[in-house]
Amino acid sequence: MKGKFLLTASLVSLSLCSAAQNARTYAITGKSNNNFLWADIKQIDMATGKVVKTLFESDKTPFKVKSLDNATDKVQVANPTGFGVAACAIDERHGRLYFAPMHFSDIRFLDLNKEDANFTVVKKNIIPLAPGTVYQSEENHITRMVIAADGYGYALTNDANHLIRFTTGKKPVVEDLGALVDAEANKGISIHNKCTSWGGDMLADAFGKLIIISANHNVYSVDVKTKVATHTGVITGLPGNYSTNGAVVNNEGNIIVSSANVFEGLYRVNFKDLKAEKVASTEKAFNASDLANSNMLLQAEKDAASKFNIPNTVIPDLAADGDAAVYPNPATGNQFNVRFNGQKAGKYTILFTDLAGRALLTKVVTVVSPVQIENVRLTNKTARGTYLVKVMDENKQLAFSERVVLQ
């Protein structure tokens, strides 16, 4: 990762802008001979509904599978997407499409950096199976997934009793955070109710919230720290039989939704008033159980509200897998940890700076272990916001860096 790349702030801005304007969007679609087996993976143009590329067809495409989990499957399926998929999320940084097959509480991903279909099983049976069973019950199907602003992946079961968080590095950590909680203001509309709130998809906003759109058009905002789900409205303007199963953010900041059950094409939803209108298209309509891209809701508002200006200086890249990690991120309590993973033994300097490069804290540490963790405590009360953690080696060369958010 050392010296991986350096960009001026102007190039960073241009790169981020270009990435946002050309976000790759993926869909989990049904099959021509079985509309309700959502097991194929395609790249689509969300502006026109055109299928750009088919990455995987469950009954045709040769594939390879490896596992990062030592657990053994009790059920062998004919393909990595199993009996269908209702939840997926794109990790642009690593070029991975994460997903969860229905009937199993597994996290898997497709490697988008390879031409062939290469799948990896990250974690199996996150939710323990009931005694004597080999499949998850319907309430435990994972039907919503997203990579959030904090860099974690989040997945949610139908009944919202299991909010699952996972990291995306070489040594992934998957944990069940437990059940979401209904906000008092929800007036009887529960995130746990099968009729109103199961299924659908999950988005992330740039401020750190999760946005859940249920199959029955209800919208919730979720505070990850408290796990409180607040009902914010209902999407209007959709056909009566149109279930909202997939959702992504388009390049203008609105929501694009898809249905798994009908061939009505895509609809565009204004996030401010939740009114939907059909996306005009001359393409053949497809049904899709889930959509995924890297765009976030309220990104423009977040950028406008930012208290920091990136100067015309070099900005280092985020830490690569195996180098290090700053956690927890976001950090609370004016402290965080820096994990040295794979670094050579020696002295290192941890620099905690604002985005303008002003050093707020310096700490010298001696690394003696291949995996070493150092705690950093900020001596003064530091304002909430985004900062940089830079680690320099003995030769004053950048070993790695990572942005950290203080809450």
The pTM of the full predicted model, rounded to 2 decimals, is: 0.71
Domain with CATH 2.60.40.1930 in the chain: 314-406
User: Is the pLDDT confidence value at 296 over 80?
Assistant: yes
Does domain 8-303 correspond to CATH entry 2.120.10?
A: yes
Tokens 């393409």 belong to residue: 283
Higher-scoring residue by pLDDT: 342, 106:
106
Residues 9-26: what's their mean pLDDT? 49
What is the layout of strands, in order, in the sheet containing 255-258?
Answer: 246-249, 255-258, 267-269, 276-278
pLDDT, position 19: 38
Per the structure block, which two tokens stand in for 143?
A: 């039907």
Q: Could you give the CA distance from residue 109 to residue 98 in angstroms, rounded to a whole number?
A: 4
pLDDT in tens, 263-272: 999 999 999 8
Domain with CATH 2.120.10 in the chain: 8-303
pLDDT in tens, 72-100: 554 455 689 988 999 999 999 899 999 99
Q: Could you give the CA distance from residue 28 to residue 292 in angstroms, rounded to a whole number?
A: 9
Beta strands in 282-345 (DSSP E): 288-292, 314-316, 324-327, 335-341
pLDDT, position 250: 95
Let me know: does 400 contact 391? Beta carbons within 8 Å. yes
What is the CATH number assigned to the segment(s) 314-406?
2.60.40.1930
Structure confidence at residue 2 as a pLDDT band (50, 70, 90): very low
